[in-house]
Structure 1
Amino acid sequence: MQVVRFNKQNLALICALASVLYFLLHAKTQHIELEYVVDEKAILVWEHVADFNNMMALNPTIVDFDIIEDKGNYKNWQYTVHYTEHLSNFPSIKNKAVGFYTVRPDGSDFLIESTHKTCFYNLYCLSSASEFRFRMRGASQTTCLEKIDFQCPYLFTKICTSEAMHQRAMIRDKLIQFFKENANQA
């Protein structure tokens, strides 16, 4: 009789641990949208953001990158990049990611679409997708519209959302500053 009880306790413990792990690691998709204005023509803002060489300046959490594939033309440019970044709130935590980008005009707008697979310690991977649209506003301004869907473990939803918003704010601020400085030099 003792053996049966021991097995039931072990089974209950295993089920409890599995439930906790599921709760900690189950990915939930989050959605954010941002809109802001940059004082420059849409094509120039789009070209600047589309060039991943500029991303380390726009997003300082990216520490290195390697473009592994690049194809297409102005109407449909595609590239794949491997990059390493750290979390802004926890700089010692680094993750590796692969991003697939499609850069193209879309009617009178300009568009960057991307999907990413981000892995923490090559053990736990999450997906995200982004649509970054650049639209002329008047003669010399650009409305930047970004829609992002990203996965995050349910328990860390606030941290993930904070990280995503922090990175987007850095990109926005540095993009606005870049074109402001270029306008002052002209």
Structure 2
Amino acid sequence: MITDPHLFFAEISLDLSRGEHFTGLKKLEAESGRFTDFYTYNLLLGRAYRGLHRYQEGLQALKTCCRIAPHNQVAWKELVEVHFLQIHSPADMLTSELEALSEALAGFAAPKTCETADPTPIVEQKQPFPDEEAISVPTESLATLFTVQGAYKKAIKVYTDLMQLHPDRADAYKKKISGLLDKL
């Protein structure tokens, strides 16, 4: 049996200062019937719960403490701290998860591409392709375009390819080729 409550609370306070929150809590719970209306009992109980991360129970003990001594700023300060810990405890897990994701993204390197967003320079656009280069899709429109541009050899090449694709129109293409040969 406890004869001096001050010595009892000093012993609990010493346990809590050493980080022995579970030991302190067990001693406080053993005497809960005698000291539940004491400010110091509820303050130490709140600290023990806080040390064990049992924030909801710590809040209840500190609220009781604040009701007993509403002008005592120590209990109010600790009440706010425990309330803050209770609210932000799940966020700590999210924060650590986001930090891990940030670290993973920091090591990410986007694959290098050979294309750029810059348009092809005008000088490069104006460079004609060689007359001997094969034209993958010969059309009459392309031959006409080459004729207008003065690229007669290319136009002749297109008409020659068209004669093979459309033998039924070969006579018309031969006339156009002979007209282009005159311009060379």
The answer to whether TM tops 0.5 is no
Whichever structure has more helix as a proportion of its residues is 2
> Using CA pairs below 8 Å that are at least 6 residues apart, which structure has the higher relative contact order?
1
| TM value normalised by structure 1 | 0.24
Q: Which has the higher strand share?
A: 1
* TM-score scaled by length of structure 2: 0.24
Q: Which has the larger radius of gyration?
A: 2
